[in-house]
């Protein structure tokens, strides 16, 4: 049996008060639409179908080839939106799972639960409901004396008696394909909003004597639909809790989960300890046995095993094993720290490679540089890499000792085993095993080369 999943994503999201389409607002580091898409993808091997309208092109660009798209040019309600998929899916699906894309917390397990319930149902469809006093704008499920679900009353159309009902329609359905398409054409526009409500299918089915199955949502947080910035913050808190719980179960220690923010694209190795006020963002990967934080931000970077990173900002960088950084360091785009590197407090590195064993003192800046093995970079060292027009490279070969407060004026090449005196301003290349001092730096003697 073929199953297709449809995400309804055509709404304007007016209450977000944003120029950005609602479904492109971020949750745990990713556009909201991608959370809904990921759950849909796990239900069936067939690609999800997304009904787009407002912000259609931006949503297409964000999702890419992971889904098929149908456009609802005129937004005339959820029933009208689903009808737009008929040409694509009629005779192509035995079961059609439908959910609103602005329900990003609904899991694939919940979608599968609704699908499995419908597979056992002789009637035309199954709906997901939630017993809850706080309605959050959801329609109410009206039942008859026998307990059969016979109608869903949208909040805008509800009477005072309907509003007292505490069983809510979450907005997740599974339809039998052969029944769905003719039934959609029977929906009439609502009296007040003149929209074609998908929820009217329940009343249509009941009037034909069909049995509609319901299944209950176990975790009420999955029903947080995003219509406002307040809802967005609620969903963010739920996702953060889910993510942190997942990593704790995988063997990661969180000293204070309430103040730790981990994006959904992050991975963390076993026995790593994450201290408070730490943010691991984007596609960051952290190895095993690391200590991260407190007060650390790492964005889309790779960190190896047994590293210590304290009160530091790391962006688009690569850090190998046994690296010690901070506090108050800043690794910018293109920084690559090899095994055993030490970066002291208030050090900054940009677009540079530090080979194994490099020790970089505090209050230093290294930019557009290649640093060889076991180089010592004294406190206050600066690579003057920008000449007002372009960035110039600095190359320091292995076993070099850079004295405190050295200024390295690029382009520059310092040979193996060379030394600079404290406060030197180096404007010319330094031969291997040579000591330079002064302003501008000059050679004073040549060191004996090691055997």
In terms of phi and psi (left: phi > 0; alpha: psi -120 to 50; beta: otherwise), the region of 289 is left
Q: How far apart are alpha carbons 31 and 17 in whole angstroms? A: 17
**Strand-pair partners of 184:** none
Q: How far apart are alpha carbons 222 and 41 in whole angstroms? A: 17
Catalytic residues: 362
Q: How far apart are alpha carbons 125 and 118 in whole angstroms? A: 6
Contact (Cβ atoms closer than 8 angstroms) between residue 263 and residue 29? yes
**Strand-pair partners of 336:** 318, 353
State the DSSP string of 264-323.
Answer: TT-EE-TT-EE-SSEEEETT-EE-SS-EE-SS-EEES-EE-SS-EE-S-EEES-EE-SS-
Q: How far apart are alpha carbons 68 and 66 in whole angstroms? A: 7
In terms of phi and psi (left: phi > 0; alpha: psi -120 to 50; beta: otherwise), the region of 192 is alpha
| DSSP 8-state symbol, 184 | H
Phi, psi of 22, rounded to the nearest 5 degrees: -50, -45
Strands, E assignment, 89-166? 95-100, 125-131, 139-143, 149-153
Nearest CA-CA partner of 128 in 146, 139, 114, 108: 114
Q: How far apart are alpha carbons 90 and 84 in whole angstroms? A: 11
Report the Cα–Cα distance between both ends of the chain, in Å, rounded: 75
């Amino acid at each position: 049996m073929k199953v297709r999943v449809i995400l309804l994503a055509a709404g304007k999201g007016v209450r977000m008060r944003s120029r950005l389409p609602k479904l492109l607002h971020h949750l745990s580091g990713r556009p909201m639409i991608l959370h809904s898409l990921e759950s849909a993808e796990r239900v069936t091997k067939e690609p999800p179908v997304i009904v787009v309208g407002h912000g259609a092109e931006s949503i297409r660009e964000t999702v890419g080839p992971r889904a098929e798209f149908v456009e609802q040019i005129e937004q005339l309600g959820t029933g009208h939106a689903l009808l737009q998929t008929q040409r694509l899916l009629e005779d192509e699906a035995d079961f059609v799972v439908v959910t609103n894309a602005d329900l990003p917390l609904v899991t694939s397990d919940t979608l599968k639960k609704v699908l499995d319930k419908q597979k056992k149902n002789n009637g035309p469809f199954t709906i997901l409901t939630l017993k809850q006093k706080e309605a959050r704008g959801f329609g109410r499920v009206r039942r008859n004396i026998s307990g059969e679900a016979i109608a869903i009353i949208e909040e805008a159309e509800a009477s005072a008696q309907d509003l007292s009902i505490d069983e809510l329609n979450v907005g997740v359905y599974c339809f039998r394909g052969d029944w769905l398409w003719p039934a959609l054409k029977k929906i009439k526009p609502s009296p007040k909003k003149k929209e074609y409500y998908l929820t009217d299918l329940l009343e249509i089915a009941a009037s034909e004597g069909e049995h509609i199955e319901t299944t209950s949502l176990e975790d009420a947080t999955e029903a947080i639909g995003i219509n406002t910035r307040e809802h967005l913050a609620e969903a963010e808190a739920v996702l953060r809790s889910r993510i942190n719980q997942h990593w704790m179960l995988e063997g990661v220690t969180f000293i204070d989960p309430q103040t730790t923010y981990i994006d959904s694209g992050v991975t963390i190795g076993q026995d790593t300890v994450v201290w408070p006020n730490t943010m691991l963002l984007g596609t960051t990967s952290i190895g095993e046995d690391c200590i991260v934080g407190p007060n650390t931000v790492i964005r889309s970077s790779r960190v190896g095993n047994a590293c210590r990173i304290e009160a530091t900002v790391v962006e688009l960088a690569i850090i190998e094993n046994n690296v010690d950084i901070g506090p108050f360091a800043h690794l910018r785009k293109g920084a690559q720290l090899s095994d055993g590197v030490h970066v002291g407090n208030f050090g900054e590195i940009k677009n540079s490679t530090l080979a194994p064993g490099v020790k970089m003192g505090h209050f230093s800046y290294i930019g557009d540089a290649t640093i060889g093995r076991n180089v010592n970079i004294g406190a206050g060292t600066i690579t003057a890499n920008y000449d007002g027009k372009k960035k110039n490279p600095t190359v320091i070969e292995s076993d070099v000792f850079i004295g405190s407060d050295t200024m390295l004026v690029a382009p520059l090449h310092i040979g193996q085993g060379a030394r600079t005196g404290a406060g030197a301003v180096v404007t010319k290349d330094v031969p291997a095993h040579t000591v330079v001092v002064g302003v501008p730096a000059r050679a004073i003697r040549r060191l004996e080369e090691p055997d």
